[in-house]
Structure 1
Amino acid sequence: MNVLVVKANNRPDGISTRMYNTFLEQIEQNEELNINTYDLFEEDMPYFGQDLFSALGKMQEGVELNDTESRLLQAKQKAKDLISDADVVVLAFPLWNFTVPAKMQTFIDYLAEAGFSFRYTPEGQHQPLLTDKRVIMLNARGGNYSAPEMQPVEMAVNYVRNIFGMHFGMDIREEVVIEGHNANPAEAESIVNEGLEDVKKAAQNLAYQNT
């Protein structure tokens, strides 16, 4: 089984970083898994925008690309290749300012391509194209966003769930969320430790992800 583990936090002491590390520690000795890691903050990932559309136009016309355009197309293709090769995608990411880090948004923008991750039928209906892949989500958020009054502003897990699950069609097998450690400092250690135990369980369950 090919497993891609994506890290979307460059804070060494970040809780989602600890979730990423904990998950890897649990699976790295499993000889049945072919593991790839993808650290979004270590990758050269130019932002998605006009540079991409300019590059695509130049390619069609046979015009030489500039450095930014070339880097962008290479980064986009690398992200697509890693997803194409993966059976299971593990996403370790924080909630920053109610949403995902910009690097993760860029990664998603690279993948959200008509003909690769989705398409529209001749009747104009949306059809996801990555339905053979599974997802495990590992998220950390310092506040208590499960509370009803906070749920409307939680745009990290909800967004990722909708993009990878609904838009791309991936099967979201597990979601592990550690939350409230900043809002409840007296309980922070126990909250985090309990969450990391859930991460370990998710990693141990990975052997069953092909069922």
Structure 2
Amino acid sequence: MNILVVKANNRPASEAVSSKMYETFMEEVKDLNVTTYDVFEEDMPYFGQDLFNAFGKVQAGGELTDVEARILAAKQKAMDALTAADVVVFAFPLWNLTIPAKLQTFIDYVYQAGFTFKFNEQGQMMSLMTHKKAIFLSARGGIYSTPETAPMEMAATYMRNIVGGVFGMEIINEVVIEGHNAFPDRKDEIINEGLAKVKEAASQLTHQLA
């Protein structure tokens, strides 16, 4: 079984909770077949007209610019990584109420008709990755789990809608650490409780794959 961990925070673990969640998870699954796709380390030009220009040139046999060649290669690498994975773990923060732009770019690369979803003859969308499983490890300094604040949270919610709703992966675990900035006097307690849940999620995955 192949595990792909998509790391979406380039801040050090000493400063960023989702980075610490990533490191904690990786330590617990070090004996498994794990590959990390670090969206901040990869060369990932942003999704836009350059990609569509590249598609046109490939069909016409035209010469690609540097950025066009890079974005085609980056898109294919992301798709290949997702294809090879049986379990995909996303480690990401809530930044400005949403996911980091680099993680959005990864999603843009793999969000493709015929790859992660398709439309049937009735025009209904059908998921194409129902055979894969996903785990979310996410951190947010404020509280976004109350009825008043939940509508503002567009990171974990977005990822659920995309990965589970569109791609069709089974989300087998989700660990969210929140409130460590809102309650500085309880910061260590909140983080440590969350990291214990990360270890538990890793342990459960290890047992499932044993």
TM-score grouping bracket, smaller chain normalisation: over 0.9
Matches within 5 A, 1:150-189: 150-189=149-188
Q: Is the 8 A contact 2:29 2:206 kept in 1?
A: no
1:139 equivalent in structure 2: 138
1:197 corresponds to 2:199: no
1:24 equivalent in structure 2: 26
**1:3-43 deviations in Å (ceiling 9; x for gaps):** 00111001102100000000000010x2xx31101111011
Residue 209 of structure 1: how far off its partner (Å): 4.0
Q: Distance in 1 between matches of 2:81 and 2:207?
A: 21
Runs of 4 or more consecutive aligned structure 1 residues displaced over 2 Å after TM superposition:
207-211
Matches within 5 A, 1:1-211: 1-12=1-12, 13-28=15-30, 30=31, 33-209=32-208
**1:113-145 deviations in Å (ceiling 9; x for gaps):** 000000101210100101110000000000010
Residue 182 of structure 1: how far off its partner (Å): 0.3
Query: What stretches of structure 1 of length at least 5 have no aligned partner?
Result: none
1:126–1:209 CA distance, 2 compared to 1 (3 A): farther
**1:65-86 deviations in Å (ceiling 9; x for gaps):** 1000100010000000000000
DSSP-derived class of the 2:118 partner = strand
Residue 210 of structure 1: how far off its partner (Å): 5.1
Count, aligned residues: 208
Percent identity for Structure 1 against Structure 2: 61
Q: Distance in 1 between matches of 2:91 and 2:104?
A: 13
Q: Is the 8 A contact 1:134 1:209 kept in 2?
A: no
AA aligned to 1:19 is M
Q: State the superposition RMSD in angstroms.
A: 1.0
Q: Distance in 2 between matches of 1:82 and 1:140?
A: 24
AA aligned to 1:177 is V
AA aligned to 2:28 is Q
Query: What stretches of structure 2 of length at least 5 have no aligned partner?
Result: none
Q: Is the 8 A contact 2:3 2:85 kept in 1?
A: yes
Q: Is the 8 A contact 1:93 1:140 kept in 2?
A: yes
Q: Distance in 2 between matches of 1:184 and 1:96?
A: 18
**1:58-117 deviations in Å (ceiling 9; x for gaps):** 100000110001000100000000000000000000000000000000000001000000
TM-score normalized by the length of structure 1: 0.97
Q: Distance in 2 between matches of 1:155 and 1:209?
A: 30
Q: Is the 8 A contact 1:52 1:69 kept in 2?
A: yes
DSSP-derived class of the 2:77 partner = helix
Q: Distance in 2 between matches of 1:59 and 1:130?
A: 27
Q: Distance in 2 between matches of 1:161 and 1:69?
A: 30
Q: Distance in 1 between matches of 2:92 and 2:163?
A: 14
Residue 208 of structure 1: how far off its partner (Å): 4.0
